[in-house]
Amino acid sequence: MTQACGASSLCVMPIIATRDLTMRFPGVTALDALSFTVEPGVTGLVGANGAGKSTLIKILLGLLPPTAGRAEVLGHDIATGGARIREQVGFMPEYDCLPPDVSATEFVVHLARVSGLPATAARERAADVLRHVGLHEERYRPMGGYSTGMRQKVKLAQALVHDPRLVFLDEPTNGLDPRGRDEMLALIRRIGAEFGISVLVTSHLLGELERICDNVVIIDGGKLLSSKSVSAYTEASGRLLVEVEEGREALARRLAEQGVSVRPDGRHLVVDLAGEETYDRIRDGVADLGLALVRLEQARHHIEEVFR
Partner 1 sequence: MSTAIHDIGYRHYDGPRLGRAHTVRALYQYNLRSVFGLGRGPRAKILPMMMVAFMLLPAAGDIAILSFARTPEALIDYSMYAFYLQMIIAIFLATQAPVIASRDQRFRTVPLYFSRPVGAWDFVLAKFAAFVTALLLLVAVPVTLLHLGFLTMRGTMIEHGSKGVPSVVDQTGYYLAALVGCLLLALVLSSFALLIAAFTPRRGFGVAAVMAVYLISNVVVLIIQVVSLGNGDYDLAGWANLLTPFRLVDGVQARLLGADIGVRGDSVPPAGSGPVFLLGCLAVIGGSLALLTRRFRKAGA
Binding site for partner 1 (CB under 8 A): 58, 61, 63-64, 83, 86-87, 89-91, 93, 95-103, 106, 110-111, 113-118, 121, 125, 128, 131-132, 134, 142, 158, 162-163, 190, 194-196
* Beta-sheet strand order (sheet of 236-244): 262-265, 268-272, 236-244, 293-300
Task: Report the SS3 class of residue 114.
Answer: helix
Beta carbon of residue 131, minimum distance to partner 1 (angstroms, whole number): 7
- The dihedral over CA atoms of 8, 9, 13, 16, expressed in degrees to the nearest 10, equals -150
Residue 111 or 262 with smaller CB distance to partner 1: 111
Beta carbon of residue 102, minimum distance to partner 1 (angstroms, whole number): 6
Residue 97 or 274 with smaller CB distance to partner 1: 97
Annotate 277-302 with DSSP letters as a single string.
HHHHHHHHHHHHHT--EEEEEEEE--
Beta carbon of residue 191, minimum distance to partner 1 (angstroms, whole number): 8
Beta carbon of residue 132, minimum distance to partner 1 (angstroms, whole number): 6
Give ∠ CA 37-39-40 in degrees, rounded to 5: 150
Residue 140 or 307 with smaller CB distance to partner 1: 140
Task: Report the SS3 class of residue 43.
Answer: strand
Residues 6+ positions from 33 with CB-CB distance below 8 Å? 20, 21, 22, 69, 223
How far apart CA 264 and CA 284 sit, in angstroms, is 19
Beta carbon of residue 272, minimum distance to partner 1 (angstroms, whole number): 46
Residue 89 or 224 with smaller CB distance to partner 1: 89
Cβ atoms < 10 Å from Cβ of 263: 12
Residue 87 or 243 with smaller CB distance to partner 1: 87
Beta carbon of residue 33, minimum distance to partner 1 (angstroms, whole number): 22
Residue 75 or 93 with smaller CB distance to partner 1: 93
How far apart CA 298 and CA 74 sit, in angstroms, is 39
Task: Report the SS3 class of residue 83.
Answer: helix
Closest of 189, 43, 171 to residue 96, by C-alpha: 171
Beta carbon of residue 264, minimum distance to partner 1 (angstroms, whole number): 43
Please give the single-letter amino acid code of residue 306. V
How far apart CA 106 and CA 195 sit, in angstroms, is 24
How far apart CA 288 and CA 215 sit, in angstroms, is 44
Beta carbon of residue 158, minimum distance to partner 1 (angstroms, whole number): 6
Residue 117 or 299 with smaller CB distance to partner 1: 117
Residue 81 or 221 with smaller CB distance to partner 1: 81
Beta carbon of residue 52, minimum distance to partner 1 (angstroms, whole number): 15
Task: Report the SS3 class of residue 244.
Answer: strand
Residue 198 or 227 with smaller CB distance to partner 1: 198
